[in-house]
Amino acid sequence: MVRHTATSVVTIERFIIEQEGRHPEATGHLSGILYDLGVAAKMIANKVRSAGLADILGSAGTENVQGETQQKLDIIANEIIVKAMDHGGRLCAMASEESEDIIPIPDTFKHGKYVLLFDPLDGSSNIDVNVPVGTIFSVMKKITHGPRGCLKDMLQPGHRQVAAGYVIYGSSTMLVYTTGHGAHGFTLDPSIGEFLLSHPEIRIPEHGHYLSVNNAYEQHWTEPVRALMRRYRGLDGKREAMSGRYVGSMVADFHRNLLGGGVFAYPPNSKNPGGKLRLLYECNPLSFICEQAGGAAFDGHTRILDVQPTSLHQRTAIYVGSKCDIEIAREMLG
Ligand code: P6P
């Protein structure tokens, strides 16, 4: 395995192929999925970049399964991913935040041995105010018999993921992914339309610098959660204070903390007693990446990647980020 530095000019395609080379038994299907996701990401980036100009801002007026008003870009991003992924012959089914049921692969297309779960455009309520938004994806192997994927293939605990990643559409477009061999970041060079390796072997600092939590819900938290946030803010004198950074877009908040060290927390609150963020296509993939970068993630009781899912769109509380700070959370909440 060649060790790359951020100064090497390595495209994501070359990196994926080199990673595949570590597995003699690899069929290339997982590499194909990652490559096609990179293409979809470039297409979505193009739409997001021009959103303000093409007058596609604002809601499409329809609602998704979460009862949230869908932004038109949500629908477009969802369709881009489905159309980019459904005919490659590597998937047997997909699941999206924007679709209540699983998305089958048309019978006219070859079926593969993987399932793809994704949030096509997380944080989309921020689109109109130009706050970074993101795509999140998770890949698992099919565990049921027969060519077609089904719900059981989706409801696997997060430690069974074979790949996970996100794309952040911010000041630059970055794709960060893992296949279980570290977390690696690629920045889109729009002049050539290529994702280039910019953050090889990402490591999250063990002690966080940033705290990302919505303090407006403080009155709805349990006392242990309040005590934990006081600890993170340095108010009990047992830890240096973290800086508050919260933009309300999980991918943006997570990405900052991954690179700079920090904790993203979404405790249960009165509006979301079971937590707000979705387990399968938001918390599992980001937790996989965080652990691969040396961090940790739990829901207040259990490691996120060990939670046994029971429904496609189930939500969870999450505390994810720097290892030492998640350890503090375990001690104070567990
Ligand atoms: P709140 C965006 O709607 C989202 O799903 C995540 O991207 C973000 O972290 C969270 O919700 C923000 O939720 O309740 O703080 O506005």
Tell me, what's the pLDDT at 10?
A: 94
> Is the CB of residue 134 below 6 angstroms from any atom belonging to ligand 1?
no
Nearest CA to ligand 1 atom 3: 123
Mean pLDDT score, 138-167: 97
Pocket perturbation via mutation, ligand 1, pick of 127, 249, 269 by most ligand atoms within 8 A of CB: 249
Reported as a single tens digit per residue, the pLDDT across 167-200 is 999 999 999 999 999 999 999 999 999 999 999 9
Q: What is the pLDDT of residues 128-137, one digit of tens each?
A: 888 999 999 9
Which letter does DSSP use for residue 176 in this model? E
Q: 64 versus 202: which is more confidently predicted?
A: 202
**Residue predicted with more confidence, 60 or 301:** 301
- Residue 69 CB less than 6 A away from ligand 1: no
Which residues contact residue 215 at a Cβ distance below 8 angstroms, ignoring those fewer than 6 apart? 229, 244, 246
Confidence of residue 144 (pLDDT cuts 50, 70, 90): very high
3-state helix, strand and coil shares in percent for the chain, rounded to the nearest 5 = 35, 25, 40
Does the Cβ of 250 fall within 6 Å of ligand 1?
yes
Q: Any idea what DSSP says for residue 136?
A: E
> So what's the pLDDT on residue 66?
73
Instruction: Label residue 59 by pLDDT band (50, 70, 90).
Output: low
Residue nearest to atom 10 of ligand 1 (CA): 248
Please work out whether the CB of residue 97 comes within 6 Å of at least one atom of ligand 1. no
Residue 123: CB within 6 Å of ligand 1? yes
Identify the pLDDT of residue 71. 58
pLDDT, position 19: 87
Q: pLDDT class for 22, splitting at 50, 70, 90? A: confident
Considering only CA atoms, which of 263, 331, 257, 256 is closest in space to residue 297? Answer: 263
Residue 3 has pLDDT above 80, yes or no: no
Q: Give the percent of the chain with pLDDT over 90.
A: 82
Domains (range + CATH), the chain: 12-199 (3.30.540.10), 210-333 (3.40.190.80)
